[in-house]
Amino acid sequence: MEIFTSWPSWAHAEGPLAAALPERTVDALRDAVAFARRRHGVQQRPTGRPYLEHLLEALEVAVRGAGLSDRDVLVSIVLHDVLEDTPCTEAEVARRFGPEVGALVRWVTKPPGGAKADYLASLVKAPPKAVLVKLADRVSNVQELQRMPWRFQRRYYLETVAYVMPLAGAHPWFAQWFGDWRGRWRRVERWPA
């Protein structure tokens, strides 16, 4: 099971992206990373690492791992948390990056006040491109799950198995990655609630 943490900054990501993607896509990603950096500001992941690292990890999963190259999917991966975690609006994302990116980011945004399980269950109705955004996000979130407290590990593992892994079935690379990941983490199923 490969871990995707070799792009902790844009400086680390830009060269591999330029080798794998058209220049226009790399330019759009550069703009999206700068936008996300401004929007997320000093936010940190629960592990204490800068939030931008998560966005670049998810991008690395998509490009290096899954071999994705669709500009709108990749830009949406970088921006996937701006609606949920910042004051940014879908209209602002759509104006800057196009209506498809705005719609994809909305699909992967948990509605305010909504139950997380309901939101995750609704992703079975999401467009395939939105599913790809969610899958890349979740690989980044679970690849180093051991950094989190054990209760969080158990909850997040069970949530991933129940809601996210079924979405991966139509995407062979993601299905394989999550299958390998589940094999390494299956012991969590025996942990007390």
Q: Mean per-residue pLDDT for 95-111?
A: 96
Q: pLDDT at position 187, please?
A: 87
| Residues 172, 66: Cα–Cα separation, whole Å | 9
Q: pLDDT at position 141, please?
A: 93
> Which among 84, 90, 144, 159 is annotated as catalytic?
84
Q: What percent of the chain has pLDDT over 90?
A: 80
Q: Positive or negative, the Cα torsion across 111, 125, 162, 134?
A: negative
| Residues 114, 101: Cα–Cα separation, whole Å | 22
User: What band does 46 get if pLDDT is binned at 50, 70 and 90?
Assistant: confident
One-letter identity of residue 182 = R
Whether residue 90 lies in the annotated active site: no
Pick the CATH number of 10-190 from 1.10.3210.10, 1.10.3720.10, 2.60.40.10, 3.90.110.10: 1.10.3210.10
Q: pLDDT at position 168, please?
A: 97
Which is nearest to 76 in space by CA: 45, 102, 50, 57? 102
Q: Mean per-residue pLDDT for 100-127?
A: 93
Q: pLDDT at position 131, please?
A: 98
Residue 3 pLDDT > 90: yes
Residues 6+ apart with CB under 8 A from 22: 69
Q: pLDDT at position 49, please?
A: 85
Q: Mean per-residue pLDDT for 30-34?
A: 98
| Residues 16, 104: Cα–Cα separation, whole Å | 24
Question: Do 78 and 29 touch, CB atoms closer than 8 A?
Answer: yes
Q: What is the DSSP letter of 32?
A: H
> Which among 14, 31, 85, 92 is annotated as catalytic?
85
Residue 60 pLDDT > 90: yes
Residue 192 pLDDT > 80: no
Q: What percent of the chain has pLDDT over 70?
A: 99
Whether residue 60 lies in the annotated active site: no
User: What band does 189 get if pLDDT is binned at 50, 70 and 90?
Assistant: confident
**Within 10 Å of residue 98's Cβ, how many Cβ atoms?**
16
Question: Do 129 and 73 touch, CB atoms closer than 8 A?
Answer: yes
Domain boundaries, the chain: 10-190
- Point out which residues pair with 44 in neighbouring strands: 50
Q: pLDDT at position 175, please?
A: 98
